[in-house]
Amino acid sequence: MLDAPVRLTDLAHGGGCGCKLAPSVLQQLLANQPQAAPYAQLLVGTETGDDAAVWQIDEECCVIATTDFFMPMVDDPRDFGRIAAANALSDIYAMGGTPIMALAILGMPLGKLPIETVRAILAGGASICAEACIPVAGGHSIDSPEPIYGLAVVGLCAVSDIRRNSGARPGDALILTKGLGVGVYSAAFKKQALGAAAYEEMMASTTLLNRIGHKLAKDADVHAMTDVTGFGLLGHGVELARGGSVALDIDFARIPFLKDAPALAEGGFITGASGRNWASYGEAVVLPAAMPDWRRALLTDPQTSGGLLIACAPERAEAIRGTIEAAGFPRATIIGAVAAGEPAVRIS
């Protein structure tokens, strides 16, 4: 790890996808905005809260566009760049596409960080883009009071392979591809209470590209996909439920977590974003009466470069889960099912 004169996380009031505006605030901001003109080529816009915008080029091909950036959740600048890049690329994969190029988004507090640190951030992002076989073809930078880094990414996808968060059907199985707990780990890291093994576990999860989404989208039995990021499992589950006008039944005991996440959450290492998330969408969630607050916090925990939440045909669920696991996702788990009913997420 590179030495820095100050901790990157000390320069930021938040980190990773925990920096996101709360879902309720975002809804208020977008409420009175003019709607996009009804372009026939715009297949996916802001109407369903999907992971990226999709523009149809012709009968067979689409362009997918997204952007994502945030403040550091770790102190190693190269690691920060790697996490941020993997997180931005995830939106393309979650829609079923393949990224083709990226543009860097950089805001740095001039005079507070050495040039070598900023170069390492950019190099970390470029290394993940190289892993995805795409160039960082340009970008934009500003002087900002807090360090910010991310990417704008463009991808391609066949029209038939686009997967939205609104395609879940009653009876579908639900698969989660990565363990939850990144926000809990980042909260512990900021307080210097995260061990070396847990840090490596977090890095392995947050830099694992969700490229399996492109392969899954070619399977007609995969009906809906979204990536689980700043709104937590419950928030993105609520989006999927509302998008498909269905209910999600999730078994808490089946949910995969990073190894130390439950113990750390019970010990109080919980982000502020977790509470803001619950305040934003808790009315659409049904929890067991005796569930302690720390367990609920795991379900609202903001994930940075989190896994995919997938709705698929139940008879194919185990085979699809096995495909995901074989692609390098050892925690891929069937966590529940989709049911008819008022849009909600129900935890048992």
Q: Supply the CATH number for residue 263's domain.
A: 3.90.650.10
Assess whether 68 and 121 both reside in one domain: yes
**DSSP-derived secondary structure for 54-122:** EEE-SSSEEEEEEEEEE--SSS-HHHHHHHHHHHHHHHHHHTT-EEEEEEEEEEE-TTTS-HHHHHHHH
Q: Is the pLDDT of residue 23 over 70?
A: no
Q: pLDDT (tens digit, 9 = 90+) per residue, 305-323?
A: 999 999 999 999 999 999 9
Assess whether 151 and 255 both reside in one domain: no
Assess whether 140 and 226 both reside in one domain: no
Active-site residue among 17, 19, 129, 312?
Answer: 17
Would you say 236 is a known binding-site residue? no
Whether 233 is covered by a domain: the verdict is: yes
Q: pLDDT (tens digit, 9 = 90+) per residue, 179-237?
A: 999 999 999 999 999 999 999 999 999 999 999 999 999 999 999 999 999 999 999 99
Q: Please state, rounded to an integer, the average pLDDT across all residues of the chain.
A: 91
Assess whether 241 and 221 both reside in one domain: yes
Assess whether 210 and 291 both reside in one domain: yes
Q: Is the pLDDT of residue 37 over 60?
A: no
Q: How confident is the model at residue 30 (pLDDT cuts 50, 70, 90)?
A: low
Would you say 221 is a known binding-site residue? no
pLDDT at 7: 78
Q: pLDDT (tens digit, 9 = 90+) per residue, 46-62?
A: 777 788 899 999 989 99
Would you say 178 is a known binding-site residue? no
Whether 3 is covered by a domain: the verdict is: no
pLDDT at 48: 74
Assess whether 312 and 336 both reside in one domain: yes
Which range, of 25-39, 156-170, 254-268, 286-300, averages the lowest pLDDT? 25-39
Q: Supply the CATH number for residue 145's domain.
A: 3.30.1330.10
What strands lie across the sheet with 173-176, from one edge to the other?
222-227, 308-312, 173-176, 333-339, 247-250, 344-347, 285-286
Would you say 195 is a known binding-site residue? no
Q: Which domain holds residue 282?
A: 173-347
Would you say 260 is a known binding-site residue? no
- Is-catalytic flag, 157? no
Q: Is the pLDDT of residue 18 over 60?
A: no
Assess whether 246 and 310 both reside in one domain: yes
Which one is predicted more confidently, 37 or 276? 276
Would you say 48 is a known binding-site residue? yes
- Interstrand relation of 61-70 and 53-56 (parallel, antiparallel or unpaired): antiparallel
Residue 303: both structure tokens together? 């994930």
Would you say 274 is a known binding-site residue? no
Which of the listed residues 161, 181, 207 is the one where a domain comes to its end? 161
Enter the pTM of the model.
0.90
Whether 12 is covered by a domain: the verdict is: yes
- Apex 1 CA angle, 74 and 76, nearest 5: 20
Give the total number of structural domains in the chain. Answer: 2
Q: pLDDT (tens digit, 9 = 90+) per residue, 55-104?
A: 999 989 999 999 998 889 999 999 999 999 999 999 999 999 999 999 99
Tokens 């008022």 sit at which residue? Answer: 342
Assess whether 278 and 218 both reside in one domain: yes
Whether 184 is covered by a domain: the verdict is: yes
